[in-house]
Amino acid sequence: MERSVLRRRALAACTATVAVGALALAGLTGTASADPAAPAPVPDAAQLSPGLLKAMQRDLGLTATEARGRIGNESRAAAVTAGLRYSLGDRFAGARVSGDAADLTVATTDAADAARIAKAGARAEVVDHSLAELDAAKAALDRVAQRTAPKDIPAWYVDVRSNHVVVQTAKASAADAFLAKAGVSAGLVTVTRSTEQPRTFTDLRGGDAYYMNGSGRCSIGFPVKRGTQGGFVSAGHCGTPGVSTSGYNQQAQGSFQGSTFPGRDYSWVVTNTNWTPRPLVNGYGNGDVTVTGSTEAIEGSSVCRSGSTTGWHCGTVQQRNSSVTYQEGTVSGVTRTNVCAEPGDSGGSFISGSQAQGVTSGGTGNCSQGGVTYFQPLNPALQAYGLTLVTNGSTTPPDPTDPPTNPGGTWAAGTTYAAGAVVTYGSASYRCLQGHQAQPGWTPPNVPALWQAL
């Protein structure tokens, strides 16, 4: 039986991808294409709250200095990965980091790429299946699950370490039937036995509590705006459009305007003028965390969660493209972590460094014994509802290359871009390398970790 249990020590051996939050910082300082031997950028202490660092020390067995160093190392690895992913194209088979030094492994389906990967400062791994091939196989499984949630299949995900799609099951026959319905080759899949029974955490600033219709409790994900209207994103299973909300103080707050669950697990709540959106995540007595962007972390990166039941807990990103079956149905496109959570933490903030990652969906286990928690990535929710993440604009370095007037083009601050999106800035075109929400100063020419000139 495979069961991921959060360990409070010795998580340096866990493999995962790089913290995208730090990637944006690396891009802004121009280190994305720097010499691989250059020292990793160390995050500004002002952007890492004492609460986040304390949670990383407790859950990852680090000192405050080691926590800062780990995020800096992950940021450099993320920048290297972004460039290699673009240059390898269809041969790219995933990347992961390990240890506090964020030792980077990049996989490819072509041995001829090994020298290029090594030159970039990473270890090359030659595998049979590209990431695109594995993603396509998982997408086929997702389409079957969207029609009917599979019985005895709690979760499935793309695992770059094993270079397979992993399907968890309580019965081997259930996995065989699932693959057959999807038309997925068994050669792409590893089946593991699991008795997990994932559930959402609904029972009971980012991370602040709120109440639905005065009864059930969830947690705020991240404050957002749509035009001048303020509000926040949370989990879709917390409420449906029209459901009213009250704040942690039981005062009238707002109502759900949009909600998707199952399939995805995100929602959008509009708040009244008594509530002002702030670029903060509740630090639960240890200093609030300032949010500066929403660049996605890659597998192996450290990630922390704030929720109204258990406060701060940290772990690492396990697999990004995951699907999980709850009693209510299957949710796809979530990120699997070894961070613990409990009822009432649903909807709460997942953050890596200063970069918003997503909202708590559900999982197994608890914060006494450890467990697995899935979060719904934030950027798809922003795109679905046309929202802008509230960030601390004063912490974003100005773009020294910007002319006094806008040079024109389709790029715009505040827009959420998916990997592969093409924009123009001035007279040039650029392709997005990493999903993120653009901030003032993150213009395509100035952040090579996020944009590739065409």
SS3 60: helix
Please check whether residue 305 is in contact with residue 6, taking contact to mean a CB–CB distance below 8 angstroms. Answer: no
Structure tokens at 184: 């997925």
Please check whether residue 257 is in contact with residue 241, taking contact to mean a CB–CB distance below 8 angstroms. Answer: yes
Q: Is 265 a catalytic residue?
A: yes
DSSP per residue over 305-330, as a string? EEETTTEEEEEEEEEEEEEEEETTEE
In sequence order, which ranges of 161-215 are alpha helices (DSSP H)?
A: 172-182
Cα(362)–Cα(180) distance, rounded to whole angstroms? 27
Marked catalytic residue, from 4, 346, 354, 361: 346
Q: By C-alpha distance, which of 379, 271, 232, 359 is closest to 307?
A: 359
Q: Is 322 a catalytic residue?
A: no
Q: By C-alpha distance, which of 50, 54, 56, 46 is closest to 19?
A: 56
Quote the DSSP letter at residue 253.
E
Q: By C-alpha distance, which of 43, 336, 281 is closest to 161?
A: 336
- Phi, psi (degrees; rounded to nearest 5) at 215: -125, -90
Give the amino acid at 451: W
* Cα–Cα distances in angstroms (integers) from residue 313 to residues 95, 344, 454, in the given order: 25, 14, 41
Q: Is 129 a catalytic residue?
A: no
Cα(64)–Cα(50) distance, rounded to whole angstroms? 9
Marked catalytic residue, from 164, 237, 313, 436: 237
Q: By C-alpha distance, which of 394, 316, 310 is closest to 352?
A: 316
Q: By C-alpha distance, which of 426, 340, 411, 396 is closest to 21?
A: 396
Marked catalytic residue, from 265, 288, 294, 302: 265
Residues annotated catalytic, as ranges:
237, 265, 346
